[in-house]
Structure 1
């Protein structure tokens, strides 16, 4: 059975369905945070050789949810772009959410609570909050979260899901919210609770009630992280969000990933969702920007850095998560194609070999497996 036939069989015959999944049944997500910036830099997306709106393209292949990051005040972006614009700020995110909803997709709003990238090694407090006390910082998290949601409510753009932080393995809003000791965990938990309370208070006023996601990178870290959060009073959330990238994971087989997804639901009684994942369709490079994700040998004696290998890996990961009662999978930056766009580390893309589009901007044929 070839890759495309396998994928169609799983999502159509295997589940006895002939319509796409709705987001609240099983999330098939794509992080599209870079798209506005990429298009401004000259990036072009195609399907069957024809230029198309990338949001329309991903919707047509079965994607039902768009993830988008929000930075507080990313002023550094102005220095990188000849147009002097900020991206991943409130106004850029508004554009992304509008495009997603106009295309008929749900939205996951990823609050980084930082002016720049937030991840396990970086959780810098926004410059506007840098001198605040702990109590003032808690209040700022609440007010900011609530006001962002109110902003989108006024524009009929309320997200269906919202992340209180991004890959917060060691806390957020450092140094105050860094989990170096017991007191740090207490402060981090209090900051998370402030953000969640803002979402809950907002939800009392609106039809769309965003589901709350907490997000940790890599499956091997989730139990320690969650146990400490729960011990410090963080309980009122909906989804355990996970990043899963094979080079940095201790879970190296689909079987082990599925077992972990299942055990997390049993242990914590929460929905479990993969918020970020990716796989290369080639090890080649379309520009001078060094690729982050490569694969020198077959993974699990099956998956390799080819178009068929990428399609098989993604199909099997979705199948594994679904069969083990997971609530969805979101792919990180599938539209980060090569272009003259600059980031902090180079010009072009560090991810074009793991995108869903080839080096000419055409949608890869294997990605059509999302269509049931």
Structure 2
């Protein structure tokens, strides 16, 4: 688009239709994978008169519970299938949806390592794909038989590097032929298990830190990874090169480029630098963003703003990582207590902090906005704008016009251009429009 040719179109060319404001789902999530262990360790929680952690998160407005599963973690009795069943049952009893996070490892799988389960280590690539498929399908079939089918499934956790590797390989080039085979096996496992289920889980692929997301999905798409629904990403200011503006731009670009829903599926922020135990805390002032002090109020503001940022950029939700991992008498493999108690949603007496109520905060909800261009017999029509992060999108022919629908912040000023060929967007007129307060159709000249 040519910014110098900025043309204002509002109000003359806007026809408001009044689309429903909440015509799609938005997720206020909490990863509660540690909760069963914390309860066994004597953790105490309170939110008003409520003391059960699952009920606390439900009553505070969290509508999605995330839970991880390891393949065969002999070093802990938690995060196995039996433990996961307890978490899913508790969440569903509270009316919440569930996101099951397959780590495809016997231990933590993350942006720095994706270690193959011991039972699969000696298999060929084809046999590893079969094992991953069968494990995914069988796990979900077991859950389905107990009325515990999750509403979302992550095929892998923070899969920045190639999965099912024998050693950590954070900066080693990915063999995408092999990687795509494994991911597609997992995706097929989810689809096959849910074929006869009343709940059809949406499938998420997950990459850590926004600067890694678009390149990873570009490579995955070229390699033939297909059939997933959601792009999940982790954002921690400590481990990312990006601030909130970079996070926003990433959400915007990958949403429009790949045509997928986007969820910030992990984040965290400290409320104090003080420690309640000898375990080394991972977050604190050394990784804080300037606009958000390390305090209970700062943590709550961070959660509100990252959710609003996600909504404004076209995303559909945020999941906080381990808000109930408090300090207890129990030990991890590294120390007594928690590495996260200063970033939980509870103070050191177990009382819920202000961040617990981030789902109840006031938000500006996106409205559905449809851009329309007259069909004059042209073969195609493309659109781009600041709201897409400059990504070109194809408009659809419909009833004598070409249309494209987007969920945008109401009453915001945006810049958009259109052309009959994608290459023509570079020289298209830049048109300035205002998004209608209740959504509607914007007809472009």
What TM-score results when the alignment is normalised by the length of structure 2? 0.74
The change in CA–CA distance for 1:70 and 1:226 in structure 2 (over 3 A counts) is same
In structure 2, the residue matched to 1:327 is 316
Q: CA deviation at 1:188?
A: 1.1
Given candidates 266, 288, 292, the residue that maps to 1:303 is 292
In structure 1, the residue matched to 2:425 is none
In structure 2, the residue matched to 1:290 is 280
Normalized per residue, which structure has more helix?
Answer: 1
Q: CA deviation at 1:366?
A: 4.2
Match of 1:67, SS? strand
Equivalent runs, 1:232-251 vs 2, <5 Å: 232-251=223-242
Given candidates 339, 356, 359, the residue that maps to 1:350 is 339
In structure 2, the residue matched to 1:317 is 306
Residues 281 and 306 of structure 1 are in contact (CA less than 8 Å); yes or no, is this contact kept in structure 2?
A: yes
In structure 2, the residue matched to 1:166 is 157
The change in CA–CA distance for 1:247 and 1:153 in structure 2 (over 3 A counts) is same
Q: CA deviation at 1:53?
A: 0.7
In the alignment, the residues of structure 2 paired with residue 51 and residue 348 of structure 1 have an alpha-carbon distance, to the nearest angstrom, of 24
Residues 297 and 304 of structure 1 are in contact (CA less than 8 Å); yes or no, is this contact kept in structure 2?
A: no
In the alignment, the residues of structure 2 paired with residue 233 and residue 221 of structure 1 have an alpha-carbon distance, to the nearest angstrom, of 19
Given candidates 241, 251, 261, the residue that maps to 1:271 is 261
The change in CA–CA distance for 1:176 and 1:349 in structure 2 (over 3 A counts) is closer
Q: CA deviation at 1:297?
A: 7.7
In the alignment, the residues of structure 2 paired with residue 142 and residue 213 of structure 1 have an alpha-carbon distance, to the nearest angstrom, of 16
In structure 1, the residue matched to 2:27 is 27
In structure 2, the residue matched to 1:75 is 74
In the alignment, the residues of structure 2 paired with residue 177 and residue 192 of structure 1 have an alpha-carbon distance, to the nearest angstrom, of 19
The change in CA–CA distance for 1:191 and 1:297 in structure 2 (over 3 A counts) is closer
Identify unmatched segments of 5+ residues in structure 2: 1-19, 362-445
In the alignment, the residues of structure 1 paired with residue 99 and residue 217 of structure 2 have an alpha-carbon distance, to the nearest angstrom, of 21
Identify unmatched segments of 5+ residues in structure 1: 1-15, 78-85
1:61 aligns with 2:60: yes
Given candidates 169, 177, 194, the residue that maps to 1:186 is 177
The change in CA–CA distance for 1:285 and 1:155 in structure 2 (over 3 A counts) is same
In the alignment, the residues of structure 1 paired with residue 154 and residue 139 of structure 2 have an alpha-carbon distance, to the nearest angstrom, of 13
Residues 65 and 106 of structure 1 are in contact (CA less than 8 Å); yes or no, is this contact kept in structure 2?
A: yes
Pair member with larger Rg: 2
In the alignment, the residues of structure 1 paired with residue 45 and residue 200 of structure 2 have an alpha-carbon distance, to the nearest angstrom, of 33
In the alignment, the residues of structure 2 paired with residue 152 and residue 188 of structure 1 have an alpha-carbon distance, to the nearest angstrom, of 26
In the alignment, the residues of structure 1 paired with residue 102 and residue 287 of structure 2 have an alpha-carbon distance, to the nearest angstrom, of 35
1:227 aligns with 2:226: no
Cα displacement string for residues 262-283 of structure 1 (whole angstroms, at most 9, x for unaligned residues): 1111111111111100111111
In the alignment, the residues of structure 1 paired with residue 286 and residue 111 of structure 2 have an alpha-carbon distance, to the nearest angstrom, of 25
Corresponding residue pairs, total: 341
Match of 1:107, SS? strand
